[in-house]
């Protein structure tokens, strides 16, 4: 058999020109994960290939995106909360996501909202015009939001799947879900109607063992399990490892990552909290250890569940009942460290560093966990214990150094606290400062700069119970270049 270079084969495959069996490949120096994704695109195709005439020609960027890709990071975007969004709103949020290093949005849509299609058109047009680099989108059908028909699903994939902003693996548009294993028997009809899809559903209710029984109809799986379970203070990666073992080498794994979870919407049957003191740090370290094919951040804008990393654009985006724990509780600082974890992920390294200047973020509740009642909030979705049992009274700090040198970050509550760091080693570190009865503004200081965050108080919210949604703040140190200018250097 003739020896074919990996690059030649990948290019021919992406162009739809390789019809013969997989050749013997010269794969010297090619990362194993890239080899695997190309083999997936070549060998696993339970649906007919998209006819070449159905692929809308685009510029070089669009053609590049249509080739097999890997190591992309998306954020889960709730389109149901975008009613009233203008094209400018979409462009601004896409720009914010790009600045954070993200590759695209997974667009969560339900079957009943009349604004879904108009807002999707705004989103795709904004993404098509994104600069200075591509920004990709794919549809995530929320199967828990109501009953979908094959015609609805196929119609939306057909309309938006041909956009130059659509994320594809090979020539097939990536499609995902929130739950919906009972809808699995409809996907063959959708595939036939649109000419093929690359299906990576979230069927977390089945777990990895349940997904194993349905591998024949999917190209991969997305896990929504991004928080510690009831009774657990910290998240581990056991389930992620089981998913990787279940999916094997022929299917992709999309790993969920989230900063926190708290919802107090008892009128919707939702009232629980997941421990999150170290979650944003823990989960990104696990991503770098497991190296999934894709990462999905849960979420960009689910305010009712407190998992957002982008603050509301307007009050009307926050569902009724969540205003009390979302208003003036910014999560934007969670994005401040994203570019550095994203860069490490794409480089396949555990070495996370912040570029030109040291950076730190902190997150914390503004009241102790037992300053009042818990509002009936449970610790974990199916938990029995009070949320207060799972919420530790600490200021959590994640610091990233620009250089492999000692890093010193100071945290105070009402003027009292401590300084962390000072040792050699990893350029990313996690610290905690206990409340210990202290009250007052939280100050985060690093390399000559200080950020003052909302005060911690023992006076409970007027609603009468503890709110478990943390606020996040950030600080960036004076860079070496700035020090040089101030000191009369370059």
pLDDT bin (cut points 50, 70, 90) of residue 56 is very low
Average pLDDT score over residue span 168-196:
97
**Architecture in CATH for domain 61-347:** Alpha-Beta Barrel (3.20)
- Counting residues of the chain whose pLDDT is more than 90, the rounded percentage is 78
In the chain, domain spans: 3-45, 61-347, 359-486
Average pLDDT score over residue span 433-451:
98
Please provide the DSSP assignment of 125-166 as one string: HHHHT--SS--EEEEEEETTSS---HHHHHHHHHHHTTSTTB
Residues in CB range of 201: below 8 A, 6 or more apart: 176, 177, 180, 181, 184, 218, 221, 222
pLDDT for res 23 = 41
24 pLDDT higher than 70: no
Nearest to 389 by CA among 381, 380, 397: 380
Span 228-264, pLDDT tens digits: 999 999 999 999 999 999 999 999 999 999 999 999 9
**More confident: 203 or 462:** 203
Average pLDDT score over residue span 298-316:
97
pTM of the model: 0.85
pLDDT bin (cut points 50, 70, 90) of residue 287 is very high
Q: From edge to edge, which strands make up the β-sheet containing 378-379?
A: 261-265, 270-274, 378-379
**More confident: 422 or 217:** 217
pLDDT for res 65 = 34
CA 226 to chain centroid, in Å, comes to: 10
Most confident of 47-51, 55-59, 423-427: 423-427
pLDDT bin (cut points 50, 70, 90) of residue 403 is confident
Q: How many beta carbons lie within 10 A of that of residue 472, not counting itself? A: 24
Give the torsion sign (CA, 347, 350, 355, 360): positive
Nearest to 265 by CA among 386, 366, 377: 377
**More confident: 16 or 145:** 145
**More confident: 140 or 22:** 140
Beta strands in 179-321 (DSSP E): 198-199, 220-222, 252-257, 261-265, 270-274, 294-297
Residues in CB range of 476: below 8 A, 6 or more apart: 336, 357, 358, 359, 446, 449
Average pLDDT score over residue span 32-50:
39
User: What whole-number distance in Å separates Cα of residue 272 and Cα of residue 387?
Assistant: 7
Span 346-398, pLDDT tens digits: 999 999 988 889 999 999 999 999 999 999 999 999 999 999 999 999 999 99
**More confident: 460 or 22:** 460
pLDDT for res 46 = 38
**More confident: 490 or 170:** 170
């Amino acid at each position: 058999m003739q020896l074919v270079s990996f690059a030649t084969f990948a290019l021919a495959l992406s162009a739809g020109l390789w019809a013969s069996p997989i050749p013997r490949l010269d794969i010297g120096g090619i990362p194993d994960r890239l080899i695997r994704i190309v083999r997936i695109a070549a060998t696993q195709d339970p649906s007919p290939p998209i006819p070449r005439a159905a692929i809308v020609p685009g510029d070089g960027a669009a053609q590049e995106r249509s080739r097999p890709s890997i190591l992309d990071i998306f954020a889960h975007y709730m389109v149901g909360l975008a009613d009233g969004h203008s094209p400018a709103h979409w462009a601004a949020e896409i720009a914010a996501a790009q600045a954070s290093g993200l590759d695209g949005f997974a667009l969560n849509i339900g079957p009943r909202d009349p604004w879904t299609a108009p807002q999707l058109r705004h989103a795709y047009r904004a993404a098509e015009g994104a600069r200075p680099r591509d920004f990709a989108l794919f549809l995530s059908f929320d199967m828990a939001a109501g009953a979908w028909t094959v015609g609805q699903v196929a119609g939306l994939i057909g309309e938006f799947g041909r956009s130059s902003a659509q994320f594809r693996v090979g020539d097939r548009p990536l499609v995902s879900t929130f739950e919906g294993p009972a809808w699995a028997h409809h996907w063959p009809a959708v595939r036939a109607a649109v000419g093929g899809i690359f299906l990576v559903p979230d069927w977390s209710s089945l777990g990895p063992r349940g997904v194993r029984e349905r591998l024949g109809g999917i190209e991969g799986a997305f896990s929504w399990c991004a928080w510690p379970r009831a009774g657990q203070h910290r998240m581990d990666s056991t389930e992620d490892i089981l998913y990787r073992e279940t999916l094997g080498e022929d299917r992709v794994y999309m790993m969920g990552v989230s900063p926190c979870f708290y919802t107090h919407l008892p009128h919707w049957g939702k009232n629980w909290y997941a421990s999150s003191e170290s979650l944003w740090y823990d989960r990104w370290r696990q991503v770098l250890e497991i190296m999934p094919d894709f990462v999905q951040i849960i979420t960009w804008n689910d305010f009712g569940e407190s998992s957002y990393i982008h603050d509301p654009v307007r009050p009307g985006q926050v569902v009724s009942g969540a205003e009390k724990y979302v208003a003036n509780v910014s999560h934007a600082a969670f994005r401040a460290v994203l570019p550095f974890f994203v860069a490490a992920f794409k480089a396949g390294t555990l070495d996370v560093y912040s570029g030109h200047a040291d950076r730190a973020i902190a997150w914390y509740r503004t009241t102790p966990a037992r300053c009042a009642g818990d509002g009936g909030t449970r610790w974990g979705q199916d938990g029995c214990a009070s949320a207060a049992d799972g919420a530790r009274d600490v200021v959590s700090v994640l610091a990233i150094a620009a250089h492999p040198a000692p890093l010193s970050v100071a945290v105070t509550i009402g003027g009292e606290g401590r300084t962390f760091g000072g040792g050699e080693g990893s350029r990313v570190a996690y610290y905690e400062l206990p409340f210990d009865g202290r009250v007052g503004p939280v100050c985060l200081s690093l390399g000559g700069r200080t950020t003052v965050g909302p005060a911690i108080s023992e006076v409970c919210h007027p609603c009468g119970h503890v709110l478990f949604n943390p606020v996040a703040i950030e600080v960036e140190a004076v860079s070496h270049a700035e020090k040089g200018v101030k000191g009369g250097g370059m």
